[in-house]
Amino acid sequence: MDTAVLKKARWGVVLMGAVSGLFTLVLASLLLFLTVGLLGVTDLSDTGQFMVIAFALFFSQLISGYVSGRLASADQPAFHGSLGGIALYSIFAILSLAAGSPAPIFTLVFFTLVAAIIGYAGGALAARPRDE
């Protein structure tokens, strides 16, 4: 693997994107669970809880990719967005595994690829020309 590409990455930008995504994840999860509670759903099944967390995670990966891409240099916003999404998912996966999640390796790899794609989309969105 060529490590020259990873040496060009601005890791501070990636970390700031991951932190903003983590903040968004917490806020989106709280708002979604509050909304479900206000709708009168008192007993959310495991599948329902997974869907709420998954939606919040995907949204926060998009935000993480957007922030990383917006703060990155003009020639690599989608690359940095992808790294931001992966960094956020890595933090989420480590916390989930520490809490006792029985996620198999295939699931972790699959959702890392999903995080890279969503983060890439956020970075590409951030690369659009700015109207100033």
Asked if 69 contacts 124 with a C-beta cutoff of 8 angstroms, the reply is yes
3-class DSSP state of 45: coil
Q: Is the pLDDT of residue 119 over 90?
A: yes
Question: Considering only CA atoms, which of 75, 91, 89 is closest in space to residue 123?
Answer: 75
Q: Where are the domains of the chain?
A: 9-126
48-92, pLDDT tens digit by residue?
Answer: 788 888 999 999 999 999 999 999 877 789 999 999 999 999 999
Token pair 């790899």 is found at 109
pTM of the model: 0.88
Asked if 61 contacts 123 with a C-beta cutoff of 8 angstroms, the reply is no
The residue-averaged pLDDT of 84-102 equals 94
Q: What is the DSSP letter of 75?
A: T
